[in-house]
Amino acid sequence: MNTLDLSSRDPLDLPLSLLEVGIAGRLELITDHAKCNGSSVPLSTIPNGLPPYDVDLSYEVIQKYLADPEWLSIHHFDRCQRSWPRVKNLDSLYHMEITAPHMELSVERNAATGELRGINETSVDHTSLSAQNSLSLRRPPGPLSQSVRGSSSNFPFWPGGMDEPTLEQIKHIGDEEEVLDFDNDLLTVPPGWKHGMNFKQSDVLRPSGTLTLTSLLGSLEDFTFGDSSDDEDTVENHSGAGKEKSKTEGLQRSNSLEELGLETKSPPVLAPLFPEVEVPKEHWAVPLDSNSPVADFYKQIPDLAFKHPFELDTFQKKAIQCLEAGSSVFIAAHTSAGKTVVAEYAIALSLKHMTRAIYTSPIKALSNQKFRDFKITFGDVGLITGDVQLYTGASCLIMTTEILRSMLYNGSDVIRDLEWVIFDEVHYINDAERGVVWEEVLIMLPDHVNIILLSATVPNTVEFADWIGRIKKKNIYVISTTRRPVPLEHYLYTGNSQKTQNQFFLLVDASGGFQTKGYYAAVEAKKERSSKYSQTFGAKHPHGVGPGHDKGTWLSLVQSLKMREALPVVVFTFSRTRCEQNATALSTVDLCTTAEKSEVQTYYTKCLSRLRGGDRQLPQILHMLDLLKRGIGIHHSGILPILKEVVEMLFSKGLVKILFATETFAMGVNMPARTVVFDSIRKHDGSNFRDLTPGEYIQMAGRAGRRGLDNTGMVIILCKADVPEMSDLHKMMLGKPTQLQSQFRLTYSMILNLLRVEALRVEDMMKRSFAESRTQRDSKAHEQRIKLLTQQMADMGDIECSGDLADLRDYFVTVQELIHTRENVQKRVVESINGMKCLSVGRIIIISTEYHPWVPGVILQVSSDASNRVYTTLVLCEKKREIGVTHLETREKEGKKAPVPEDLLMGKVFRPEGPCDYKLLKLRSSDINIVTGKTLRIHADKILDDITRSQMPRYRNDPPGPAVSSVTQELSRLSDLPPGSLSSLCPVNDLQLKDLELVEAVSRGKKLEGALQSFTCPNSPRFNTQYILLEQRSQVLNELERLRFLTSDQSLSLLPEYQQRVNVLRTLQYIDDGGAVQLKGRVACEVSSHELLVTELVLDGALSPLAPEEIAALLSCLVFQHKTQCEPRLTDILKQGVKKVRELAERLALIQRECGLRESVEDFVAQYKFGLTEVVYEWARGMPFSEIMTLTDIQEGLIVRCVQRLDEACRDVRS
């Protein structure tokens, strides 16, 4: 048996060891058999154990680095300093950059004779200016490669009309970055505090409670009393002559205790609270009478810059006079009225003055046509579009408005020499998508550029011209004419066969008179044929609508027009498919002679010779040739661009007799016809079907009538089904055209282009937009009123809110909040269904009048206008007496009375002191104080008849009728009820309105009513005067706040959206916290559309690993906007690319939503359509166009248009 050794042992003898686990500050205790064997190797989980360490690291640091500085690495320069051998380029010494000259030569001449007196050398300032740091026209021109389109790194030229800051102003702003307004910007109450410091001497506060005689007399201790006898006063006045007047005033004797009190200070006589400021109105639009003849036109302008082969119209002569004077003009005239004459003369003037002119149009087709026309007329004409640049150095440049906007933002040097900018089809500013471009260009044009605006007739030409004149600070002469060179006659056509082919019914004659007789005749003709059709074939198609009927209609119409010699004709159809169907319906019609067929064939073959052999066999090309040889043409966006040009040229030569076209053909393209036909007067505008607006109808109908060839133009509306309503036709044909309306909106491109220029602000761009014209028009008057009201505030002085008026301000705030809360509750009640039901005839209501705050009345009549409902109400009043003073007149003499709690809380209703009378009032919902729960059974019609009868002179002195007397007696009985017994309808309990905001408002109103009883200020004798002063001061302050808001940036309607978009750019790091444009932002400035998505794709490297054809295929989603039924077959790489684009678009949409923008994620992602991805991919790989057409159901013209726009997008990505 072994014995246990229980003797005490040293702790070091225990078989335990420390295990180093390699973590700082952590050890583990383990049993160690090796220690028992005498091993001294430390245990560790690290293979080689812990690294060695110094005993005292701080000692080593002190010794090496502080005591011996040679250990510092700064002395080891041999390992830090590097040098690279210079590459010597001696040729660089032979060239030197040319510096800007600091001196220039100026010629001194005799002002009277022009004789040369001498040449002086003057110094030149601003020699350091460049396109990268200055907006001045004095900066030197940039590189020749950037002279036309400019560069995104350039500053734009200073916009005309904006006050350019001087050097002194810039220095002043730099010295005082934050300018304080010591009158308005300094706070008197710290944020979060209820009140600030009060440095006035504190008055003795009277104890709260009821006003007593003791307290009243105590408040008079500071006053001295005079004599109490009027006689003694008189004696003293006589005997005290020549002596010093007593310093004390006598206390007047009072017969009642109520009149005894503090001597109140009458309120100062103030000017009207809101004085009308007479600021001379600025009229920048100058209308000219287009009907008054121009006397001695050729004597005033003997040397015309351009001579036309015909006599000019009056409006053309007046416009030319303005151009010769260097003024801007706005021409509003009908289609084909001759507006182009003004544009031609401006181009001729620029050639004469050796300057430049730019002609802008909304669509590329119009630009191409004007390029052809002006090239023939002037020769020195160039064309700049997204994909074509021809003769860019010409004096006259034709371009789209988007190109001009890009040139302005990029500081193109063409702007220096620019004298005229011609805006054609200005009414296109109403376009929701592209209308903003017109406003941007008009705002950014420099001051030296004159403007010519050509538009169809619009009702607000003067308003639009006044806006342009205001932002440019120059007069705009407005010349409007409603005269047509060729009058129009409008017909309804109901024929559909050879028997009915002559059923033309005149609806509007050449003088503009609407012929109702013709309308009813068309209706009868349609009914008669419908009844015969129903008797023969039944009622399946009572109106004969169908493909067969359409064919019969077109055949009969064409035959009739041919017999009437009313060809050529343009048929406007609002669907590309319908254009094709209508042309196919005339497959048996041939309108060309043999010679014309030959000419068409020759011209067609010549124009298409540029195409490849396989492309000439496209189905659309072969089909179009067959149609054209028979005198029929088609013109819409689905037609190949080259075919559209061929059709236009053949139509202008008279070889196309019938042209089926969509609405875009009427947009400025000068192709007049003898007749215009409307296939329908309803169109789909992208969201729903609607009738044509007067402006749209007039624009298209204006293509009828050829000047110099036709006496009248013929406009025909086809009535395939029912005849349209007369009111719709009258409104469309003779109604006012759509007004010019602002479509200004913010884009990321606009924001970034302006943020990169410190001197220009986006807020200034928004202020100068047409949308803000009415607000900014009154800005000067607002500023004048602010000055007057500020002075009026200073004249008012301080309000006495001490002593017994210590809680006056709190009382005033409570009263105003109670009134505002009641108005909101009343508005919500009236707008609710239950509220409208209760406010019916017979309901007793309580209103506040000038003679009593609680006057009962009964509703007699309610108007039917839900948006502006009026309640005809009979209310009680005092009967006027010829002798004596009525209670109302007494109140008027006393002046305005401040509201006391009894006036605000429901008390005893009004009871006349004398004979009772009534008034008939027209009330709004805001005039009603309380809707009671009581109603009267009355005969409202009899009451109104009695009142109407009593107002006749014959019955004026008769007593009220029985119906009126009964109602007034019932209302008088309410006065006998105890206070508070007339209950009001509770919106929550009685009307069952459970809206959370309304419930809170009702609860808040009750709390405010309860708080009124705790105030003591209404007991003060000074209460009425000081409350009215406080109310006046509050009204002035509110008006000042409103005016300052209107004149500040905060009043801009688009400011919240601007701040949201800035937050998006800041989140994506396009700009920094200070608003400076970063690298991503500068890249986005190079992109013309979809800036964010394209920039993210480029900088994220999503396009880098892709082949060129794959990049083009993916970017097609930026330009393709049509629907397709064919699902594209994509490669795996393209599928991944599509997924990447959609994910990126979704991320951008989510960021926009987080920053507050309203556009949904689904809508943002859905705008990128990949229906042409496969088509573009195969096109980029070189597949013939004829084979590409087998991959999709999209028409040929749409594909070519998409590829052309894609070319612009690819250029943006490449740059």
Query: Where do the structural domains in the chain lie, given as residue ranges?
Result: 11-79, 285-483, 488-574+662-734, 585-655, 803-1019, 1086-1214
The pLDDT tens digits for 184-218 are: 556 666 665 656 665 544 443 344 444 444 443 44
CA angle 174, 180, 182 (to 5 degrees): 150
**pTM for the whole thing?**
0.76
The mean-pLDDT minimum among 631-640, 665-674, 1034-1043 falls in: 665-674
The pLDDT tens digits for 723-757 are: 999 999 999 999 888 889 999 999 999 999 999 99
Q: Is the pLDDT of residue 533 over 80?
A: no
- With cut-offs at 50, 70 and 90, classify the pLDDT of residue 169: low
The pLDDT tens digits for 984-1029 are: 788 888 778 878 888 888 888 889 988 888 899 988 888 988 898 8
The pLDDT tens digits for 303-333 are: 999 998 888 999 999 999 999 999 999 999 9
Q: What is the DSSP string of 513-582?
A: -B-HHHHHHHHHHHHHHHHHHHHHH-SSSTT--SHHHHHHHHHHHHHHHHHTT--SEEEE-S-HHHHHHH
What pLDDT is stored for residue 409 in this prediction?
Answer: 94
**Three-state SS sequence of 24-71:** CCCEEEEECHHHHCCCCCCEECCCCCCCCCCCCHHHHHHHHHHCCHHH
Side chain identity at residue 1010, one-letter code: G
Q: What is the mean pLDDT of residues 1024-1047?
A: 90
What pLDDT is stored for residue 749 in this prediction?
Answer: 92
Most confidently predicted of 205-209, 657-661, 1211-1215: 657-661
Over the range 1184-1198, which residues count as b (16 or more CB within 10 Å of their CB) and which as e? Answer: ebbebbebbebbbbb
Q: What is the DSSP letter of 201?
A: P
Pick from 145, 173, 170, 140: nearest CA to 155: 140
**Residue 520 CA to its chain's centroid (Å):** 44
What pLDDT is stored for residue 953 in this prediction?
Answer: 77
What pLDDT is stored for residue 83 in this prediction?
Answer: 67
What pLDDT is stored for residue 863 in this prediction?
Answer: 84
Angle between helices 1132-1154 and 1091-1099 (to 10 degrees): 120
Query: Distance between CA atoms of 1197 and 660, rounded to whole angstroms?
Result: 16
Looking at the DSSP bridge assignments, the partners of residue 923 are: 871
- With cut-offs at 50, 70 and 90, classify the pLDDT of residue 881: very low
The mean-pLDDT minimum among 264-268, 480-484, 1150-1154 falls in: 264-268
Q: Which helix (H) or strand (E) holds 753?
A: helix 748-755
What pLDDT is stored for residue 264 in this prediction?
Answer: 37
Q: Would 285-483 and 1086-1214 be classified into the same CATH topology?
A: no
**Position with higher pLDDT, 564 vs 259:** 564
Query: Distance between CA atoms of 91 and 391, rounded to whole angstroms?
Result: 37
Using left for φ > 0, alpha for ψ between -120 and 50, and beta otherwise, residue 705 falls in left
Give the dihedral sign, CA 570/575/579/581: negative
CATH of domain 488-574+662-734: 3.40.50.300
Q: Is the pLDDT of residue 372 over 70?
A: yes
Q: Is the pLDDT of residue 362 over 90?
A: no
The mean-pLDDT minimum among 38-42, 766-770, 818-822 falls in: 38-42
Q: Is the pLDDT of residue 97 over 70?
A: no
Share the mean pLDDT of the chain.
81
CATH of domain 285-483: 3.40.50.300
Q: Which residue has the tokens 């287009």?
A: 290
**Position with higher pLDDT, 276 vs 986:** 986
What pLDDT is stored for residue 184 in this prediction?
Answer: 56
Query: Distance between CA atoms of 1185 and 1195, rounded to whole angstroms?
Result: 12
Q: Is the pLDDT of residue 634 over 90?
A: yes
What pLDDT is stored for residue 520 in this prediction?
Answer: 93
Rg (CA), the chain: 44
**Percentage above 70 pLDDT, the chain:** 79
Q: Is the pLDDT of residue 229 over 60?
A: no
The mean-pLDDT minimum among 80-84, 646-650, 698-702, 761-765 falls in: 80-84
For residue 1164 the two structure tokens come to 């943002």
What sections of 293-363 are H helices per DSSP? 297-300, 314-324, 340-353
> Are β-strands 632-635 and 658-661 bridged in parallel, bridged antiparallel, or unpaired?
parallel
Q: Which residue has the tokens 């700049």?
A: 384
Query: Distance between CA atoms of 1088 and 434, rounded to whole angstroms?
Result: 13
**Position with higher pLDDT, 879 vs 515:** 515
Query: Distance between CA atoms of 691 and 312, rounded to whole angstroms?
Result: 37
Q: What is the mean pLDDT of residues 876-902?
A: 60
The pLDDT tens digits for 943-996 are: 888 888 877 777 777 777 788 888 888 888 877 777 666 777 888 887 788 788
The pLDDT tens digits for 409-440 are: 999 999 999 999 999 989 889 888 889 999 99
Using left for φ > 0, alpha for ψ between -120 and 50, and beta otherwise, residue 160 falls in beta
Q: What is the mean pLDDT of residues 232-260?
A: 39
Q: Is the pLDDT of residue 469 over 80?
A: yes
Angle between helices 1055-1067 and 1132-1154 (to 10 degrees): 130
> Is domain 803-1019 classified as CATH 2.30.30.1160?
yes
Q: Is the pLDDT of residue 851 over 80?
A: no
Over the range 540-560, which residues count as b (16 or more CB within 10 Å of their CB) and which as e? Answer: eeebbeeeebbbbbbbbbbeb
The pLDDT tens digits for 813-830 are: 999 999 888 888 888 887
Say if CB 663 and CB 683 are below 8 A apart: yes
Say if CB 456 and CB 335 are below 8 A apart: yes
CATH fold for the domain made of 1086-1214? Sec63 N-terminal domain-like fold (1.10.3380)
What sections of 936-977 are H helices per DSSP? 940-950, 962-975
Each as own residue / partner, the long-range contacts of residues 770-777 (CB below 8 Å, 24 or more positions apart, any chain) are 770/429, 770/439, 770/464, 770/467, 770/740, 770/741, 770/742, 770/744, 771/742, 771/744, 771/1053, 771/1054, 772/1052, 772/1053, 773/463, 773/466, 773/467, 773/470, 773/742, 775/1046, 775/1051, 776/470, 777/466, 777/470
